Amino acid sequence: MAILSDKDIKKLLDEGHISIEPLDNKEKQIQPSSVDLRIGDEFKVFRVIRTPYIDPKDNEEVASYMESFKVPEGEAFIIHPNEFALATTQETVKLPDDIVARVEGRSSMGRLGVTMHVTAGYIDPGFEGKITLEISNIGAMPVALYPGQRVCQVVFETMTSPSEIPYGHPSRHSKYMGQEKPESSRIKMDYELNK
């Protein structure tokens, strides 16, 4: 596998082989080997609840532990120390069956103590949708996040061959295909928990 350069990213975008929409400022967003993505205005946070644990087999229960809200224009979402939130990118990313991608935090955010993904930084070939951001503040101070702010970057890699059954294929039962807003965990749909 090889990481795509800015030259290759621009070429594949122009050819429509990969898609990032809207990509409002190619000059600023396309980096030497990645594309900066902006945070959207919808967030999901865990409510304070009185339950001894989260049961991944109960998807409705998991969703009920989180609340969604939209940040009004011009305002910020404040992520506090030790807080976790879900958000999505403003951009919708579409990958072909021969390219994978990874979401990485921008170093400018990391230096504030804010991470943009916990474990789900990998984007399968065939995926289409907004990218979920799993945001954590591991720093000591609250940090303001403004919708439209560049907070992460996506890195593209070519595969040795196209995937036989890419993400989104009907037989794959892809849980997050086409997502448009932050989605709670759909782990209950995992085959090993759905017996």
Catalytic residues: 134
Q: How many other C-beta atoms are found inside a 10 Å radius of the C-beta of residue 137?
A: 21
- Alpha carbons 46 and 67: distance in angstroms, whole number: 6
CA distances from 177 to 7, 94, 126, 127, 129 (A): 28, 10, 9, 6, 6
Give the single-character DSSP code of 188: G
The burial of 7, by beta-carbon neighbours within 10 Å (0-12 exposed, 13-18 middle, 19 or more buried), is given as: exposed
- In the chain, the DSSP E strands lie at 2-3, 19-21, 35-46, 66-70, 77-79, 84-94, 99-105, 114-115, 122-123, 128-137, 143-145, 150-158
The answer to whether the CB of 35 falls within 8 A of the CB of 154 is: yes
CA dist 22 and 77 (Å) reads: 22
Centroid of chain to Cα 92: 10
